[in-house]
């Protein structure tokens, strides 16, 4: 058997067995990979050599990790979370790094050692923490938002550390020059990507996506990611920076969520190999000889970090219970710290004994993290009296058992707009389930008997639990565009024919939302201005019927779904319910009779009106006679029930 194949089989078999065990005992797979590396590496069984080829392959794990971080990088998200990101996150990383530098300088080490070790100690495990927040339904809670904000800043900070660390080998003027050159190169690359790369990237990905080839899309994704990583390494920077920039480029396009799903298998497998190599570098003999220092480096930094985060959270206005939860979640070390330590070791910035001791302490703190987080809630409840979150979690759990709905509306957000919508739905006797991430609001609404549950509407699991498969429509009642985009992506993935109405502040994101699959976008500015104009015209003496006609004309022009509704078709008082026109969405699959034929050929005139056609990746269009239908089109029909059934049969069966 070839030696390379034997090594791969050893790694695969060991990883599968250990990760299965980790899943059974509910530990993160990262820890399983570290254990695999420790067992099969040169310091234990010696089945796998710790050579350059293995480490080079493992570096691609960090590349794809940084690519995923770049995908999460969003200027809008940073702005919305600026308090947690640039307040709490910046303070936590900065103070931790500065404190470590001061302590190590007193111990006789250089500031370079302090910068590397302090930066590593400042990191927390994004993989462990985000997974446990999601499992516990706390991502959208107040402490969950603070935690994710700090983790986001840590992710951004590690990019800077990975750029700086290779330059720290130099000394004096050479060091200053190397750092300055690296900073200029990084700033130039960042500026080039942000200001010159967006339009070509969006155009090229659109070209590839239109060819409808999954393998071509994946090949193109790998080319862009690894190509940019190679370019930054040629420029004297790290592979990781190029991957991060590639992620940033794609994050601003409509292909972000598809890319995130496609890249996950590569990222997870290669990142697993990276953690295996970290485990291989651990020498159990050195760790056992330094067990006192290992224990001290587990307890002291974790405790200090816990206290620091709690104090900073309190300083930034969080209540005691929220601050304690944030501290307990962020106290442990993280996978990004392991990447930093590995890079520092390659550039001989950390002594071998210190490296072994610190790595062992970090791995142990990560092993303890799930257990600590598991007991966070009882500890917080004991330390803080009258904590409302525990009661809200109980009410949420009870409410989630009663979500048996059929043909209902999923209302995302139960603020003022969501509550007004809920009243109208109740008046029409249309069932609904409302999702909201404010525990206080959920508690009050549930107490009043409303169908409101605590949950993050941007998560697929939450939407499925809310009955997405049986729903009649989805309405996004808040004006959070990034979250609305995530909801649209999940709906398009599960039920592309389902109508989705989205609320926004204005029309600036109109095209983006429509192209993502929104059936209609309702801007607050337009509706507010129409009401303002209506009242003004009435007060100025303009007749009521003329004011209503003006408003109807503007709405008809703006909202494609309302075309045909403002001509008196539904205003007759004696018309029966079954004769009233209504909307119906129809998904054309590959076998539909209309695929490949024009609207004129389908001969629907006089039967129904085509209100709009939604095509993946494009804004809804009002088709003309020459419009040619394609598989995947969602046709929005307007007509009476009998005519709708006849038109559906003609479009699907011919």
In angstroms, the Cα distances linking 142 to 101, 279, 317, 448, 542 are 32, 35, 12, 23, 50
Q: How would DSSP label each residue in 20-33?
A: HHHHHTT--HHHHH
Instruction: Output the pLDDT for position 475.
Output: 92
Phi and psi dihedrals of 610, rounded to 5? -85, 105
* pLDDT tens digits for range 217-233: 888 888 888 888 888 77
Token pair, residue 523, equals 């801007």
Other CB atoms within a 10 A radius of the CB of residue 249 amount to 22
Per-position DSSP letters for 353-369, written without gaps between them? HHHHHHHHHHHHHHHHH
Question: Phi and psi of 432, rounded to 5°?
Answer: -150, 160
Extract the tokens encoding 32: 């399983």
Is residue 67 pLDDT above 50, yes or no?
Answer: yes
List, for residues 259-278, the tens digit of each pLDDT value.
777 777 777 777 777 777 77
CB 357 within 8 A of CB 287: yes
The pLDDT of residue 448 is 65
Give me the residues paired with residue 621 across strands.
Answer: 613
CA–CA separation, 197 and 369 (whole Å): 40
Question: Which range has the worst mean pLDDT, 5-9, 375-379, 430-434, 499-503?
Answer: 5-9
Q: Tokens 């004769």 — which residue?
A: 579
- Of 122, 130, 133, 131, the closest CA to residue 91 belongs to 122
β-pairing verdict for 634-639 and 609-614: antiparallel
User: How high is the mean pLDDT of the chain?
Assistant: 77
Token pair listed for 78: 């940073």
Q: pLDDT for 402-421, tens place per residue?
A: 355 677 888 888 888 888 88
**Residue 570 binned pLDDT confidence (cut-offs 50, 70, 90):** very low
Query: Which structure tokens are listed for 184?
Result: 């200029």
As a whole number, mean pLDDT of residues 424-447 equals: 78
Return the C-alpha torsion angle 575, 577, 581, 586, nearest 10.
Answer: -170
Instruction: Kindly indicate the confidence band of residue 385, based on its pLDDT and cuts at 50, 70 and 90.
Output: low
Average pLDDT (620-637) is 86
| pLDDT of residue 295 exceeding 80 | yes
Question: Alpha-carbon distance 155 to 133, whole Å?
Answer: 17
pLDDT by residue (tens digit) across 573-616?
Answer: 444 555 567 778 888 888 888 888 888 888 888 788 888 888 87
Q: What is the pLDDT of residue 317?
A: 83
Question: Quick one: pLDDT at residue 308?
Answer: 93
Give the model's pLDDT for residue 50: 64
Hunting for tokens 């040619």 — which residue is that? 628
pLDDT tier, 474 (very low <50, low <70, confident <90, very high otherwise): very high
Phi and psi torsions of 461, nearest 5°: -60, -40
For residue 479, pLDDT beyond 50: yes
**Strands 409-412 vs 500-504: parallel, antiparallel or unpaired:** unpaired
Choose among 260, 208, 214, 270: nearest CA to 239: 270
Phi, psi for 387 (deg, rounded to 5): -85, 120
Report long-range pairs for 197-206 (Cβ below 8 Å, ≥24 apart).
197/249, 198/249, 198/252, 198/253, 201/249, 201/250, 201/253, 202/252, 202/253, 202/254, 205/250, 205/253, 205/255, 206/617
The 10s digit of each residue's pLDDT in 134-161 is 666 576 677 888 888 888 788 778 877 8
Q: What span, in angstroms and rounded, lies between the C-alpha atoms of 502 and 518?
A: 7
DSSP string, 620-633: -B---TT-B--TT-
Question: What is the structure's pLDDT at 73?
Answer: 65
Torsion angle, alpha carbons of 207, 208, 210, 214, to 10: -170
Taking the C-alpha atoms of residue 586 and residue 634, their distance in angstroms, rounded to an integer, is 5
311 pLDDT band, cuts 50/70/90, is: very high
Which of 375, 365, 373 is closest to 34 using CA atoms?
365
pTM of the model: 0.54
The pLDDT value recorded for residue 91 is 92
pLDDT (0 to 100) of residue 578: 53
pLDDT value for 565: 45
Residue 395 has pLDDT above 70, yes or no: no
pLDDT for 506:
75
pLDDT of res. 95: 93
pLDDT digits (tens, 9 = 90+) for 505-561: 877 777 788 888 888 888 887 777 778 888 777 666 677 777 778 887 777 666 655
pLDDT class of 53 with cuts at 50, 70, 90: low
pLDDT number for residue 148:
81
Q: Tell me which of 382 and 215 has the higher pLDDT.
A: 215
| Residue indicated by tokens 């089109």 | 633
Residue linked to tokens 């209100």:
611
In tens, the pLDDT along 83-124 reads 787 888 889 999 998 998 888 888 777 788 888 888 888 888
Which residue would you say has higher pLDDT here, 307 or 20? 307
pLDDT given at position 218: 83
The yes-or-no verdict on residue 324 having pLDDT over 60 is yes
């Amino acid at each position: 058997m070839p030696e390379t194949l034997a090594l791969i089989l050893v790694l695969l078999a060991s990883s599968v067995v250990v990760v299965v065990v980790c899943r059974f005992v509910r530990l993160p797979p990262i820890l399983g990979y570290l254990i695999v590396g420790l067992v099969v590496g040169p310091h234990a069984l010696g089945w796998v050599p710790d050579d350059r080829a293995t480490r080079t392959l493992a570096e691609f794990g960090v590349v794809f990790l940084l690519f995923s971080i770049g995908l999460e990088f969003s200027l809008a998200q940073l702005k919305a979370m600026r308090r947690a990101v640039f307040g709490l996150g910046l303070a936590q990383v900065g103070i931790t790094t500065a404190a470590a530098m001061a302590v190590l300088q007193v111990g006789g080490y250089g500031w370079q050692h302090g910068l590397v070790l302090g930066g590593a100690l400042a990191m927390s495990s994004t993989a462990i923490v985000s997974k446990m927040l999601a499992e516990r339904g706390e991502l959208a809670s107040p402490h969950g938002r603070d935690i994710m904000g700090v983790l986001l800043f840590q992710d951004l900070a590690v990019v800077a550390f990975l750029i700086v660390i290779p330059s720290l080998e130099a000394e004096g003027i050479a060091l200053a020059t190397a750092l300055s050159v690296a900073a200029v190169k990084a700033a130039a690359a960042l500026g080039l990507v942000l200001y010159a790369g967006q339009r070509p990237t969006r155009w090229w990905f659109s070209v590839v996506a239109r060819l409808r080839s999954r393998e071509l899309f994946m090949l193109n994704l790998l080319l862009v990611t690894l190509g940019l990583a190679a370019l930054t390494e040629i420029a004297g920077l790290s592979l990781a920076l190029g991957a991060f920039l590639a992620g940033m480029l794609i994050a601003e396009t409509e292909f972000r969520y598809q890319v995130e799903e496609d890249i996950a298998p590569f990222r997870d497998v290669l990142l697993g190999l990276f953690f295996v190599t970290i485990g291989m570098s651990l020498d159990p003999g050195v760790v056992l000889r330094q067990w006192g220092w290992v224990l001290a480096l587990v307890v002291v930094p974790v405790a200090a970090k816990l206290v620091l985060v709690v104090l900073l959270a309190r300083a930034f206005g969080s209540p005691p219970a929220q601050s304690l939860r944030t501290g307990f979640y962020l106290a442990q070390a993280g996978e990004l710290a392991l990447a930093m330590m590995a890079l520092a070791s390659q550039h001989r910035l950390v002594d071998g004994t210190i490296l072994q001791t610190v790595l062992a302490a970090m791995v142990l703190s990560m092993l303890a993290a799930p257990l600590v987080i598991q007991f966070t809630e009882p500890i917080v409840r004991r330390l803080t009296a009258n904590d409302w979150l525990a009661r809200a979690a109980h009410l949420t759990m009870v409410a989630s058992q009663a979500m048996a709905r059929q043909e209902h509306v999923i209302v995302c957000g139960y603020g003022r707009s969501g509550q007004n919508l809920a009243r109208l739905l109740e008046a029409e006797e249309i069932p609904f389930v409302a999702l909201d991430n404010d525990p206080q609001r959920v508690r009050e609404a549930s107490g009043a008997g409303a169908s409101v549950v605590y949950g993050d509407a941007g998560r697929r699991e939450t939407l499925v639990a809310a009955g997405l498969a049986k729903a009649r429509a989805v309405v996004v009642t808040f004006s959070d565009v990034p979250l609305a985009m995530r909801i649209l992506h999940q709906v398009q993935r599960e039920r592309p024919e389902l109508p989705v109405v989205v609320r926004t502040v204005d029309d600036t994101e109109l095209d983006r939302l429509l192209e993502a699959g929104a059936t209609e976008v309702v801007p607050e500015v337009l509706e507010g201005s129409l009401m303002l104009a209506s009242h003004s015209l009435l007060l100025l003496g303009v007749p009521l019927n003329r004011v209503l006609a003006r408003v109807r004309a503007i709405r008809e022009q703006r909202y494609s779904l309302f075309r045909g509704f403002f001509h008196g078709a539904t205003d007759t008082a004696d018309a029966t319910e079954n004769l009233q026109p209504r909307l119906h969405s129809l998904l054309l699959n590959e076998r539909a009779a209309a695929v490949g034929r024009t609207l004129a050929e389908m001969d629907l005139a006089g039967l129904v009106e085509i209100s709009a056609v939604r095509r993946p990746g494009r804004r809804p269009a009002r088709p003309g006679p020459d419009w040619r239908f394609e598989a995947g089109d969602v046709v929005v029909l307007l007509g009476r029930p009998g005519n709708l059934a006849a038109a559906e049969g003609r479009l699907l069966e011919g």
